[in-house]
Amino acid sequence: MVSLNFLEKSEIFKGLDSEQIEEIHQYCNIKEFRRGDMIFAEGSDATHLCIVLEGQVELRFDLPGHPTSDTNTISSIPEGKAFLWSSLVAPHKSRLSSYCVSRTCKIIMVDRASLLSFFEKDTKAGYIMMSNLASVVASRFYKLQDEIIKHRGYETMFSW
């Protein structure tokens, strides 16, 4: 079972009060995966917001017709961090494939429909969580931007 304390400390639910956390707790299930298991495929329906409870997840851009490769990793998601945020943003499709890369992973799966229904009733909770979501997306964008700049700099330095 997911601890309320863990949910309170997660980046995505930061700032919610204990009653709001207890409500969200009802929508959570834990799924376990082993190293190499695909959690979600790119383009699949994103029906759950996910939080890494234990282990590590990689988000990858998989090339059609090719096996997955860690060289296509866009982001690594450690314990306590959220992924599959596209479950809360139309068109609710996974933008990248996700894989368990540690020996095992435990993933908290938060049901999208229940979460959005709760946010309709408690708009303050929805506002707080969506603000947190914007911060998560922004930080991932900045990391990706830094990687692109590093790669471009390397190409510039060694291409002449």
Return the pLDDT at 38. 96
Return the pLDDT at 136. 87
> Is residue 49 over pLDDT 80?
yes
What does each C-alpha distance from 136 to 26, 50, 71, 88, 125 come to in angstroms? Answer: 23, 13, 23, 13, 16
The dihedral built from the CA positions of residue 125, 130, 133 and 139, taken in this order, carries a sign that is negative
> Is residue 30 over pLDDT 70?
yes
**Please, which pLDDT band fits residue 157 given cuts at 50, 70 and 90?**
low
Q: Kindly report, residue by residue over 60-86, the tens digit of the pLDDT.
A: 988 888 888 888 888 899 999 999 999
Which own/partner pairs from 141-146 qualify as long-range (CB within 8 Å, at least 24 positions apart)? Answer: 143/75, 144/74, 144/75
Domain that holds residue 71: 4-158
For residue 101, count other CB atoms closer than 10 A to its CB.
19
Q: Cβ distance 126 to 23 under 8 Å?
A: no
Report the pLDDT averaged over residues 44-49: 96
**Please, which pLDDT band fits residue 145 given cuts at 50, 70 and 90?**
confident
Dmax (CA) of the chain: 60
Return the pLDDT at 154. 62
Could you tell me the CATH number of the domain that includes residue 67? 2.60.120.10
**Please, which pLDDT band fits residue 39 given cuts at 50, 70 and 90?**
very high
* Domain tally, the chain: 1
